[in-house]
Structure 1
């Protein structure tokens, strides 16, 4: 992943933010939409593109565009920086290799504890039954 190349490929749109704010909110476009086309990116290898498509399939459009929005602050510039930060976090976490789980067996002590608990529960249930008549 080459950040400098990816930064040049990012597309930004400034949109009017929703919510309260009156005249100021209605005339200033502070919300930022960040668009990143994974398919056409030169900053990603083919393997990275495949991994991102697999990991982010629910966040991508049909064309393979990742769309992020930020309207946290009242400044367009800060929202742009926040959107870029979120993009880096998403890309890094998606490209991180998943550690394979090591198969383990329960210890002898754990097995004995489980069996002992089962015996106690069985005895408790057995004692709940009414006694059998002696004919």
Structure 2
């Protein structure tokens, strides 16, 4: 059982882990030891997540979520399999915690009179600058 928040608890069988070989430098160790972790979590089928949390999670996950609603997190920062495993799990939990917090509702406000005045003055200054850039026409006074 993985406790994400007070209301969201994931069971261990919802998370699938695959160990893969990590790319990059590492000598002989990199060619024979599978230390990188690819964690898969089916968020679309998870009974722990509400529809609203899933929608926010989909936006936050971005490219990490597949079309089927499966979140894929790869962790290969460390040389140790257990540390990579813990890192991937912590990243998943952080992502779900962030999605679990509902967005703060926006309160409609109006600009103050001074703010309106400043905006209009700025527009007038800009118009004056552009007016001075206009082509000068020479008139004959004969």
Report the TM-score range of the alignment, normalised by the length of the smaller protein: 0.7 to 0.9
User: Which residue pairs with 2:8 in the alignment?
Assistant: 2
Gaps of 5+ in 1: none
Q: Kindly indicate whether the alpha-carbon contact (under 8 Å) linking 1:14 and 1:32 is maintained by their aligned counterparts in 2.
A: yes
2:110 alignment partner, one of 102, 105, 113: 105
| Higher deviation after alignment, 33-42 or 117-126 | 117-126
Structure 1: how far apart are the matches of 2:61 and 2:72? 11
Structure 2: how far apart are the matches of 1:115 and 1:51? 39
Q: Specify whether residues 134 and 123 from structure 1 end up closer, same or farther in structure 2 by C-alpha distance, changes over 3 A only.
A: farther
TM-score relative to the length of structure 1:
0.77
Q: Specify whether residues 52 and 116 from structure 1 end up closer, same or farther in structure 2 by C-alpha distance, changes over 3 A only.
A: closer
Q: Specify whether residues 111 and 14 from structure 1 end up closer, same or farther in structure 2 by C-alpha distance, changes over 3 A only.
A: same
Establish whether residue 19 from structure 1 lines up as the match of residue 15 from structure 2.
Answer: no
Gaps of 5+ in 2: 1-6
Establish whether residue 61 from structure 1 lines up as the match of residue 58 from structure 2.
Answer: no
**What is the DSSP-based 3-state SS (H/G/I as helix, E as strand, rest coil) of the residue aligned with 1:109?**
helix
What CA RMSD, in Å, does the superposition of the two structures yield over aligned residues?
A: 2.8
| Higher deviation after alignment, 112-121 or 15-24 | 112-121
Offset, 1:49: 3.6
The total of aligned residue pairs comes to 134
TM-score relative to the length of structure 2:
0.74
Q: Kindly indicate whether the alpha-carbon contact (under 8 Å) linking 2:57 and 2:95 is maintained by their aligned counterparts in 1.
A: no
Q: Specify whether residues 9 and 116 from structure 1 end up closer, same or farther in structure 2 by C-alpha distance, changes over 3 A only.
A: closer
| TM alignment of 1:110-121, pairs within 5 A | 110-121=115-126
Q: Kindly indicate whether the alpha-carbon contact (under 8 Å) linking 2:64 and 2:73 is maintained by their aligned counterparts in 1.
A: no
User: Which residue pairs with 1:32 in the alignment?
Assistant: 37
